[in-house]
Structures are given as structure tokens and as C-alpha cells.
Amino acid sequence: MIRALLIEPEGTLFLPNNGAEAFFKEQAARWSDAVASNCDDEARLASRLYGLYTENPKDPELVYGEFVREFGLPSAAARFLAQEYKHAFPRGPQARPEARATLGRLNRLGYRLGIVAEGTVREQAARLESARLIEFLETVLITEPHGRATLDRELLEQAIGCLGVTRADTLYVGASRRSGFEAAREAGIASLWIGEAQFSQPDFAAFRACRFRELPEMLDLVEAMREAS
């Protein structure tokens, strides 16, 4: 019986890529007067910033260094933009609107909830606190303090231990990190992928819900399918 959920927040609780498209669009708008002549150029700036971020999500200095070089901005602009990213990006409005309500419902239904996240403590803690999600969680495990870049079997097993449940009691919920699903499979943990209806279910997830808010209703179905298999 499912008693606990381990949730990777990227794409489930938070918008994919941390809501980066909206953040970089705002940055580009503030700098467009310096390097652009029309709205199309502003969109081009935003698109390039986002592209550099997806190529180097953990290296803002490289992202902004390349950005100012390509668009002829003063070199000092790279430091300014990187500082703005460091202080503003983790606390931006990135949580899905339904995140708090859905976690609250899961709590009331008696599920034990934990977060297993890739990234830094600074970024993940700031996001969870800003979105006021901490109150629903019993454990938060982030890869950085454990010297890892990605989730693995050992970290998931550690999170299960913190929740005081077994592997059979646990469901891993993710949306975008293949590494988490692979770790769940290696650990013998059932997994559920959150994905839009127009996309087919990836081969690395056992179950699928189209939207995070559907998760409470999905759990009974997941349990029934596990028992039937």
C-alpha cells in the first residue's frame, strides 16, 4: 500500500526549468534598449539567454559571460546579471498554482511527503520556502551536500528511511529528471511521471498523471494497478 511520496520538484511543484523562460524574458526586456531596436530583437535576447541557460543550468557566470560577449554589452554587465540571477532567480514566482493545495490534500489523506531534488541547498531551500511548501514535508534531500550531481539509488533509499516506510510503501513522482526514475527503478520503487496529455508516457516511468493536481485521485488507481500486476 502506498503510504509515502518522494517528489522531485522540477516540473511537478515548480514550472519546468524553474520558470526560467519568464525570468530571462524579464531580464532581456530591461537590457533591450542597450542592444535591440524592436520587440523582435527583445524576443531574440530572451531566447538566447534561455538557450544558454538550458545548455549550462549550473553556471550563470558562463551564461552571462557568453551573453554579453555575443551582444556587445559591457563586461561589467555579466557580473551584474549573474548577481541578479543569484539573488532573484531562486525566489521567483515559479511554483505551480496548485502545488500547495495538492500537497495539503495529500497530507490530509495521510500520505507522508518528502522532496528529493537535484541542485544546491541554496536554490532548492529558497524555492520551497518562498512557495511555502516546507510545512507539508517530512524530509528534504538535496544532492549537493552528498557530493552528487544527480539522484541515485542510495539517496532515494536514504529518503525512504527518513520517512520511516518501506520501498513497497513508496511512490517516486517526477516530471523531467530521467536520473530520478532510473534510481527509483534500481531501488525497486514504483514511479509516476507528471506529463502533459499530448506526450506519450516515457518508458522509464511505470504510471502517469497529466497534471500534478491529479495526483491524489491517481493514487488509488496506481494501487489497484500494482495489485493486479
Query: pLDDT of 84-143, one tens digit each?
Result: 888 877 666 578 889 999 999 999 999 999 999 988 888 788 889 888 999 999 999 999
Q: Is residue 103 within 8 Å of residue 61, measured between CB atoms? A: no
- What rounded mean pLDDT belongs to the chain? 86
What DSSP letter does each residue of 125-160 carry, written as one string?
HHHHHHTT-GGG-SEEEESGGGT-SS--HHHHHHHH
Cα→Cα distances 24→27, 184, 202, 223, Å: 5, 33, 29, 41
pLDDT at 41: 76
Between these two residues, 9 and 94, which has the higher pLDDT value? 9
pLDDT at 39 over 70: no
Which residue matches cell numbers 559571460? 65
CB 120 within 8 A of CB 18: no
pLDDT digits (tens, 9 = 90+) for 183-228: 999 999 999 999 864 445 566 777 888 889 999 999 988 888 877 7
Which pLDDT does position 28 carry in this prediction?
Answer: 86
Residue 198 is predicted with a pLDDT of 45
C-alpha cell at 67: 551573453
* Alpha-carbon gap, residue 98 to 225, rounded angstroms: 26
Q: What pLDDT, on the 0 to 100 scale, is given for residue 17?
A: 67
Q: How far, in Å, CA of 202 to CA of 91, rounded? A: 30
